[in-house]
Amino acid sequence: MKYGLVGAQLGHSYSPFIHTLLGSSPYDLVSLSHDQLGSFLKAGDFEGLNITIPYKKAVIPYLDHIAPEAEAVGAVNTIVHRQDGLWGYNTDCYGFLYAAERAGIAFDGKKVLVLGSGGASAAVKKAAAGAGAAEVLVVSRTGELNYSNVYDEADVEIVVNATPVGMYPDNGGRLIDISRFPRCSGVIDLIYNPLMTPLLLDARELGIPYTNGLSMLVAQAKYASDLFFGIQRPDSIIDGILKKTEQKVSNIVLVGMPGCGKSTVGKILAASLEKGFVDTDLLVEQKAGKSIPDIFKDEGEAYFRTLEANVIASVCKEGRQVIATGGGAVLNPGNVDNMRQNGIIVYLKRDIKELSTEGRPLSQQESLDAMLEKRRTFYEAASDIMVNVPAGPDETAALVTKELGWV
């Protein structure tokens, strides 16, 4: 084995893809128990490793040398096997500061609140203090500063989540309400799966600069890869790798009026971008065991909307998909938040005269003009990109790809 990631549960790691782009490949995922860790490191059958939860502290006794920044943090996320033994480094601090700077979040003179007291928290605290933060507070469930008294620190200016709360597969959690920090000017969540946690969705809604942990992941991987090779490449390569990683893991979520071509265009996009395709209306029908017109007829719209919301919540937890949604899905703000977790929302806007109404129960009950008037603002508010649908689905798919900047 040349390179790899060592941890406990690694099923959804993006590291092999990122390190392949960096040239540090082949790159393997190595899931170990605590009992296996020592013998694996002592065998030394590798050139370079990244270390993740829960072993960033546990590897330290097996190292021959430890770099100053790793010693200061008390955690190692990179090991290089050299002739004189195993060297331990911590590239999380560099990755964190890169992510913050890229998001326009500066620490100089700021009061910073770090959620969590684990290994990641220690790296964040050191990095923020080193970048000039006036004060760095760490909040934990049982510490002196905890989640019952954290709002006493109402003048906090930057919030960093260094806990797994909100991380896949337990999407949806948040520890604090950032609206209660009126001076907050930056939010960083180290989580990158999903790309948008509830904490970041709150920041977006409040107009506060924010970033997820994906740029940190790519940046720290770049620094680790440089250590593997004994070189120092320019940081300018990070953005290109980040963009390719975002393209690979993100969903494209298609919204728009019934009959605008979401399913047809979605299948074309999925094939061209090598993503899975999901039609939420079809999943609702499978769950109900009947067609959507029959659901409306037998149980009513409210029942359908509940099924639809459950399907969207489940589907949008996953990444690497093109998702065609029902025409009314955006009317529920919770659906839109779920779509945003991992998705870029694309509004397919089609001339109302071109819309197909076959098998569309609401389209038959109210005029399309009235429906569009009711929904237009919801489509526009939800969407990141709007594409005017031309005559053919292939042309529409090409336009979506162009608007995404993925050509």
Q: What is the tens place of the pLDDT at every residue in 272-298?
A: 999 999 999 999 999 999 999 999 999
Q: Which amino acid is at 20?
A: T
In a domain, 97, yes or no: no
For residues 380 and 267, membership in a common domain is answered with: yes
pLDDT of residue 407: 66
Token couple for 379: 């489509």
List, in sequence order, every residue forming a beta bridge with 78; answer none if it has no partner: 50, 89
- Write down the pLDDT at residue 119: 80
Identify which has the larger pLDDT, 357 or 42: 42
Q: Which of 190, 208, 226 is the last residue of a domain?
A: 208
Question: pLDDT digits over 53-86, tens only?
Answer: 899 999 999 999 999 999 999 999 999 999 999 9
pTM comes to: 0.93
Q: Are residues 255 and 346 in the same domain?
A: yes
Among 46-50, 209-213, 216-220, 360-364, the range scoring the smallest mean pLDDT is 360-364
pLDDT of 9 higher than 90: no
3-state secondary structure of 112: strand
Convert the pLDDT of each residue in 330-352 to its tens digit.
Answer: 999 999 999 999 999 999 999 88
What is the mean predicted confidence (pLDDT) over 307-327?
98
- Region 373-389: mean pLDDT is 96
Q: What is the pLDDT of residue 361?
A: 62
Q: What is the arithmetic mean of pLDDT over 186-199? A: 98
Crossing angle for the helix pair 119-130 and 92-102, to the nearest 10 degrees:
60
Least confident of 225-229, 312-316, 343-347, 355-359: 355-359
149 and 192 share one domain:
yes
d(CA 40, CA 20): 23
Question: What residue has token string 């009950």?
Answer: 365
Identify the pLDDT of residue 360: 58
By annotation, the residues acting in catalysis are 56
**Are residues 400 and 368 part of one domain?**
yes
Give yes or no: residues 320 and 357 share one domain.
yes
Question: Is the same domain home to 257 and 399?
Answer: yes
Instruction: Tell whether 98 is covered by a domain.
Output: no
pLDDT of residue 57: 94
Query: What CATH number should be reported for the domain holding residue 339?
Result: 3.40.50.300
With respect to residue 99, please indicate whether it lies within any of the assigned structural domains: no
Which residue is associated with the tokens 């990141």?
384
| pLDDT for the residue numbered 11 | 80
Give the pLDDT confidence of 248-263 residue by residue, as tens digits.
999 999 999 998 999 9
- Cβ contact 351:405 at 8 Å: no
Q: What is the CATH number of the domain that holds 241?
A: 3.40.50.10860
Nearest to 67 by CA among 78, 57, 51: 78
Which three-class secondary structure state does DSSP give residue 325?
coil
Same structural domain for residues 71 and 180? no
Question: Tell me, what amino acid is at 66?
Answer: I
- Among 146, 180, 208, the domain boundary falls at 208
The answer, yes or no, to whether residue 363 has pLDDT greater than 60, is no
Query: SS3 of 172, please?
Result: coil
Same domain, 32 and 124: no
Q: Supply the range of the domain harboring residue 234.
A: 3-90+217-245
CATH of the domain at 141: 3.40.50.720
Same domain, 30 and 147: no
Strands 78-82 and 85-89: antiparallel
Whether pLDDT at 3 is above 80: yes
Residue 275 lies in a domain: yes
Beta bridge partners of residue 281, listed in sequence order: none
The string of pLDDT tens digits covering residues 127-180 is 999 999 999 999 999 999 999 999 999 999 999 999 999 999 999 999 999 999
Give yes or no: residues 157 and 240 share one domain.
Answer: no
Asked if the structure places residue 162 within a domain, the reply is yes
Q: In which residue are the tokens 């500061």 written?
A: 97
Q: How does residue 12 score in pLDDT terms, banded at 50, 70 and 90?
A: confident
Q: Do 51 and 128 reside in the same domain of the chain?
A: no
Q: Under DSSP, is residue 180 helix (H, G, I), strand (E, B) or coil? A: helix
Contact 306, 293 (CB under 8 A): no
pLDDT of residue 340: 98
User: Is 18 within the bounds of a domain?
Assistant: yes
**Count of structural domains, the chain:** 3
Q: Report the chain's terminal Cα–Cα distance, integer Å.
A: 35
Please give the Cα distance from 160 to 179 (Å, whole number). 14
Please check the confidence at residue 364 and state whether its pLDDT lies above 60.
no
- What's the mean per-residue pLDDT of the chain? 95
Q: What is the pLDDT of residue 355?
A: 80
Q: Is residue 100 part of a domain?
A: no
Residue 96 lies in a domain: no
Q: Indicate whether 232 and 257 sit together in one domain.
A: no
Rg of the chain on CA atoms, in Å: 24
Greatest alpha-carbon span in the chain: 77
pLDDT single digits (tens) 84-130? 999 999 999 999 999 999 999 999 999 999 999 988 899 999 999 99
At 212 the pLDDT is 99
